[in-house]
Structure 1
Amino acid sequence: MAVVSRRGRPHHIELWLDDDGSWPWLLERLGYVLESSWASGGSWVLGDVYIVLESGPDHVRGRHERLRSGLNHVAFWAGSRAEVDAVVGEAGRHGWTLMFADRHPHAGGPDVYAAYLENAAGFEVELVAED
């Protein structure tokens, strides 16, 4: 079996947020596990990648603007089409809104089955089906 290098793959992602209320649910729904937490945030792990969420006035100044320079969105593999649909079905109860509903689940094009979600802080995530 060939060894696959981790070169170029994300080591971790750190997001600074006004309010991280919607993110923990999404990360846990995608299989991440809370590894550690502290007063202003926490770290969620899945395999060899971890995501840090930090919030609070000492860290964040202003609302996220995905259409300005910087991060537009984060895309996650989200399992099968049924699993993507299940997350979309639950997302509204956890602070996420479906974007591009008129083109869902093919807003990214006819060959991509994905959901685009946005939270109240303006962060966008793309959930891509594996099949």
Structure 2
Amino acid sequence: MLHHVEVWVPELGRAVWSWGWLLGELGWVPYREWAVGRSWRFGETYIVVEESPAVSAARHERCRPGVNHLAFHVYGRERVDAIVEAAPRYGWGLLFPERHPYAGGSGHYAAYLEDGAGFEVELVNSR
């Protein structure tokens, strides 16, 4: 089982606003808070967003070596669609809109979102 994922962000306030909303929509709950970071928990796994002084760029580049995106289960197409509809109000944009909701291939109902700092998530219909 995955223990945690730590995402270094260029602006904590913006990350808390966008990631906090999205993770809340997906059933994650606030876990810990400190001056330069926040975390949300789902079961035993948690996700951290942290504004580290060691961050070396103002934007994540998902096409470079490293993590491309995080993928989450979403139960029901209607739920995927509702999150996609609300996402722009929280700083998330739809990637591959011309192929949405099958950008991952036929039979793979999912949404690919990117936040203002360049981080991508995939919301996979799991029903």
- TM-score (norm. length: structure 1): 0.89
Please list, as runs of the form range in 1=range in 2, the aligned pairs for 1:77-116 lying within 5 A after superposition. 77-116=73-112
**Matched residues, number:** 122
Q: Give the CA RMSD over aligned residues.
A: 1.0
Q: What secondary structure sits across from 2:6 in the alignment?
A: strand
Q: What secondary structure sits across from 2:108 in the alignment?
A: coil
| One of 56, 64, 72 as aligned partner of 1:61 | 56
Amino acid at match of 2:92: W
- Shift of residue 116, structure 1, vs aligned partner: 0.2
Alpha carbons 1:42, 1:53 under 8 Å: kept: yes
Alpha carbons 1:40, 1:55 under 8 Å: kept: yes
| One of 66, 73, 92 as aligned partner of 1:70 | 66
Between the aligned partners of 1:55 and 1:78, the Cα distance in structure 2 is 28
2:7: which partner in 1?
A: 15
Q: Structure 1 stretches of 5 or more lacking a match? A: 1-8
The runs of 4+ residues in structure 1 deviating greater than 3 Å are none
Cα-to-partner distance string for 1:86-123 (whole Å, 9 max, x where unaligned)? 10010000000001111100000011100000011111
Amino acid at match of 2:29: V
Alpha carbons 1:16, 1:59 under 8 Å: kept: no
Percent of pairs with identical residues: 52
Between the aligned partners of 1:43 and 1:81, the Cα distance in structure 2 is 27
Q: Structure 2 stretches of 5 or more lacking a match? A: none
